[in-house]
Structure 1
Amino acid sequence: MKYLNYLLIIIGSLVAFYSETGTGKNEYMLIGGVALLMIGIYRISKTITSNNDKDDTEDISKNE
């Protein structure tokens, strides 16, 4: 499942670059590529856990 996210990012970026470098700029292909790129980035960011909340509360208690 993790590889699907990376595949979405790679395919989305390649499609977006291809649509810009082609002879006729295709806006729909660019939008589709950017959408795939954003979906891949969103799916990866959902799996990253945040440990900042625990670190922030420890810093506050040390200062008091």
Structure 2
Amino acid sequence: MNRSRIINLICIVFGGLVAFYAQAEKENNTYLLIGGIVLLFFGIYRTSRNIPSKFDKPEESFIKTEKEDEV
């Protein structure tokens, strides 16, 4: 694993844990919850940037065209 993936994974896990902890308390800490959610989404965004789009590849058609023979 390269550093970028490790940083993304740490952001996702740590952000999720912080958000879960902030929500689990008796009195919700709104700023802690927002910080955890922001960190979680930051890690998800950085991860999704590296996933290629399915529209980058040329479309493959199942219909094959036949060349007409010139007579």
RMSD: 2.0
Inter-partner Cα distance in structure 2 for 1:29 and 1:58 = 48
How many residues align? The count is 62
Q: Structure 1: any 5+ residue segments left out of the alignment?
A: none
Using structure 1 for the length normalisation, give the TM-score: 0.82
Q: Percent identity?
A: 42
Q: Does residue 27 of structure 2 align to residue 24 of structure 1?
A: yes
Q: Structure 2: any 5+ residue segments left out of the alignment?
A: 66-71
Using structure 2 for the length normalisation, give the TM-score: 0.75
Greater RCO, 1 or 2 (C-alpha within 8 Å, sep 6+): 1
Please identify which structure carries the higher helix content.
1
